[in-house]
A = this chain, B = another copy of it.
């Protein structure tokens, strides 16, 4: 008898259930950490406690998150996914790229500023450790570049930006500027994160529009 392949419906259901479990774990962990204070709570909370709070077995916990750090990373990915959905919605509204990016930056800034700085520092540290040696499959750096690349590509297609530098290249640059601003904020920079992010995006756009033609490379 050939092995039965799950149909697309069943597979979707499994995916959905898995996503709900992951969210329950993340929520349980964040609740416990916040209760105990992020400064020491992350280290003091055990996998068992998080699993119990989420109403699942320890085995299920480890199936989804090999290390506690992976929960922190998941919150980062969620922020990136929300940014991507925001970007798509903004693009559908046919606003100028400057407005779209300003909104996107404000959204990211507001979301990050809600998280305690110490938790953001831990999240960035968790991300950094894996970052250089093992790039995650869906792109490093929280995946903001997917949202940004969509915005820049749309702007280039509709004449809102010159075709060079490439959208992907601009997206990578903006990602590093954004991640760096988030890091400075997490290290107690007193500046308003939304303002910093908006100015950086504006500077990048102004740069892309006014980049002088490249001189031939020195021989």
Contacts of A214 in B (CB 8 A): 195, 198-199, 202
State whether B217 touches A195 (Cβ < 8 A). yes
Q: Is A163 close to B, CB under 8 A? A: no
Contact B165 A173 (CB under 8 A): no
Q: Interface 1/0s, chain A 99-139, versus B by CB < 8 A?
A: 00000001000000000000001001100110111010000
Across-interface contacts of A210 in B (CB, < 8 A): 206-207, 209-210
Residue A59 CB within 8 A of the other chain? no
Q: Which of A176, A184, A187, A198 has the most CB of B within 10 A?
A: A176
**Distance, CA A190 to CA B132, complexed state (A):** 17
Quick check: A203 and B131 within 8 Å, CB to CB?
no
Q: How many identical subunits does the complex contain? A: 2
Q: Which of B125, B177, B179, B203 contacts A211 (CB 8 A)?
A: B203
Least Cβ–Cβ distance between A149 and chain B, in angstroms: 15
Distance (whole angstroms) from the CB of A177 to the closest CB of chain B: 6
What sequence of 0s and 1s flags, for each residue 175-219 of chain A, a beta carbon within 8 Å of any chain B beta carbon? 111011001101100001011001110111111111110100110
User: Which one of B106, B125, B132, B172 lies within 8 Å of A132 (CB-CB)?
Assistant: B125
Cβ–Cβ contact B180 & A172, under 8 A: yes
Q: Are B132 and A186 in contact (CB under 8 A)?
A: yes
Q: Specify which chain B residues have a CB less than 8 angstroms from the CB of A200 in the assembled complex.
A: 173
Chain B residues within an 8 Å CB radius of A184: 172
Report the separation of the CA atoms of residues A200 and B121 in the bound assembly, to the nearest whole angstrom: 27
Q: Which of B165, B187, B202 contacts A135 (CB 8 A)?
A: B187
Indicate if the CB atoms of A217 and B192 lie closer than 8 Å. Answer: yes
Min C-beta distance of A113 to chain B, whole Å: 13
A198 contact set on B, CB distance < 8 A: 214
A: residues with CB less than 8 A from B are 106, 121, 124-125, 128-129, 131-133, 135, 165, 172-173, 175-177, 179-180, 183-184, 186-187, 192, 194-195, 198-200, 202-212, 214, 217-218
9 interchain pairs (CB within 8 A)?
A125-B133, A128-B131, A135-B187, A173-B177, A203-B208, A206-B206, A206-B210, A206-B212, A207-B207
